[in-house]
Structure 1
Amino acid sequence: MRTVIVIPARYASTRYPGKPLAELTLPGGARRSLIRLTWEAAQQVRGVAEIVVATDDARIRDACEGFGARVVMTPETCRNGTERCAAALQAGGFAADCVVNLQGDAPLTPPWFVEALIAAMKGGAQVATPVLRCDPVTYAHFVEDRRQGRVGGTTAVFDARGDALYFSKEVLPWLDPARLSGEIPVWHHVGVYAYTPDALAAYGALPEGRLERLEGLEQLRFLEHGHRVACVEVEGRGRVFWELNNPGDIPRIEAALKENAR
């Protein structure tokens, strides 16, 4: 199975304009852009034939080509990363049996998260995405973000087979703090996806869904139109995972990079 990682990146983010080019401080004091850190994370994944950055912005293109990444230009009309991956597959002229969407704001994504998705695709899934059980620190971040009115991470709810029932930027399921003990039954949806080329093509032909629009979560389009999304359970193995959703997340990610380097 030929796997290609596509890193969709756009400059005109509503919540954080220019986010892919935001610089983070690494252990030792060096500074690198978010998109470069994500590209370097993709290079750690085993079994990948090619890594491509998909963007519509010349500033991102120039920065990525400057550190050696292959870039495919995609239309400004792409509304989300999945549409941009589909456009990149069409415009880039590369063959793939599996396309992994590693979003450009997730440099903390461990390689085994993506490798678990690739294994699920080999097992016959059409669309797959990782879910990570919340540890107390991550759960507290989720709850605090919602308390402060910030858009934080995404949670996933899935059935006994592992097929997604729903994704939300709310913390689901709701938990009574007085009864919270032991393992936390909240699953952090990791914003990485794997698709077959047919699933990508089908997505692009579907109209935007009502829940997708309300939540701002692209994967809900699959669910709203009856397509299965396999939730693949992954383990952090002591690594902290968090996407860069808001400018205030930069210190969190810098701290995690420092911790992961130990």
Structure 2
Amino acid sequence: MPMIVQVLRRALEADIGPVLVACGDAAIAEAVDAAGGQAVMTDPDHPSGSDRVHEALGLFDPDGRYDTVVNIQGDLPTIDPAVIAAVLDPFDTADVDITTLAVEITEDRERTDPNVVKAVIALSGDNARIGRALYFSRATVPAAAAGPHYHHIGLYGFRRDALDRFVALPPGRLEVLERLEQLRALEAGMRIDVALVDTVPLGVDTPADLDRARAMLASGSS
């Protein structure tokens, strides 16, 4: 089964609304259609997933019936549907523009790995599960060795007007330095809140990742 179809099924199981697959490639759209999903063809040259989602949303819902949208990357075939749904929780606060997810880091190697993006979150107490994002970095932040440090998961929810604003913004200085798109929103004064979840979904970036994902799917784990 194509990886994008696995992600599609997980998104449908989250049961948070209609699921579209924004495609820049006809072969992906054909796989989605064959699986009974809804594909939306978009410009193949979009600079980011956010731009692609923005175009797809406009094509699907030109009348603005939906006021929030969730951007799920297509390389997360084992993601838990409950993790997808959790990205909507911070929207209970009215002035939140964008939402995302993070997991507390427990392995020391992740604290210093530049491929693990760290989220700096202002939590209201020890048991809080939602907090405001202050910064994102590939460095070890906060600097205190004991942490806590949080592994950012690149799954986002947008209020529709916030997505409109975000894609119209030029790349920010910090965004370019860190190579992290979400910093564009923070630099522009937009509010991002983070929901804590318990597991980091496996992103498939290498053949070894793909083998691991296949094994997880075969065993029924996520």
Q: Which residue pairs with 2:202 in the alignment?
A: 242
Any idea what SS the aligned residue of 1:249 has? helix
Runs of 4+ residues deviating >4 angstroms: none
Structure 1: state its 5+ residue gaps. Answer: 1-31
Give the TM-score, by structure 1 length: 0.72
**Aligned CA distance change for structure 1 residues 69 and 215 (closer, same or farther; 3 Å):** farther
2:41 is aligned with 1:73: yes
Any idea what SS the aligned residue of 1:82 has? helix
How far off its partner does 1:119 sit? 2.6
Structure 2: state its 5+ residue gaps. Answer: 125-130
Q: Deviations over 1:93-124 (max 9, x none)?
A: 36312101111112232222222222322432
How far off its partner does 1:195 sit? 0.8
**Aligned CA distance change for structure 1 residues 63 and 98 (closer, same or farther; 3 Å):** same
Amino acid of the residue matched to residue 115 of structure 1? A
Larger mean Cα displacement after TM superposition, 252-261 or 107-116:
252-261
- Cα separation, 2, equivalents of 1:247 and 1:173: 33
Q: Deviations over 1:72-98 (max 9, x none)?
A: 111233211111111111122363121
Return the match for 2:192 from 207, 225, 229.
229
Q: Deviations over 1:46-65 (max 9, x none)?
A: 3x220000011112111211
Q: Which residue pairs with 2:74 in the alignment?
A: 104
How far off its partner does 1:153 sit? 3.4
Asked if the contact 2:111–2:149 (Cα under 8 Å) also holds between the matched residues in 1, the reply is no
Q: Which residue pairs with 1:123 in the alignment?
A: 93
- Cα separation, 2, equivalents of 1:153 and 1:257: 24
Q: Deviations over 1:176-233 (max 9, x none)?
A: 5xxx6xxx62211111111111001001111111222333322111012111100111
Percent of aligned pairs sharing the same letter: 32
Amino acid of the residue matched to residue 69 of structure 1? G
Q: Which residue pairs with 1:87 in the alignment?
A: 55
Amino acid of the residue matched to residue 121 of structure 1? F
**Aligned CA distance change for structure 1 residues 49 and 88 (closer, same or farther; 3 Å):** same
Any idea what SS the aligned residue of 1:261 has? coil
Amino acid of the residue matched to residue 243 of structure 1? G
- Cα separation, 2, equivalents of 1:210 and 1:249: 32
**Aligned CA distance change for structure 1 residues 122 and 175 (closer, same or farther; 3 Å):** closer
Equivalent residues in 2 for 1:153-192 (5 A)?
Answer: 153-161=116-124, 162-174=131-143, 176=145, 185-192=148-155
**What is the aligned-residue RMSD (CA, Å)?**
2.5
- Cα separation, 1, equivalents of 2:150 and 2:219: 22
Any idea what SS the aligned residue of 1:253 has? helix
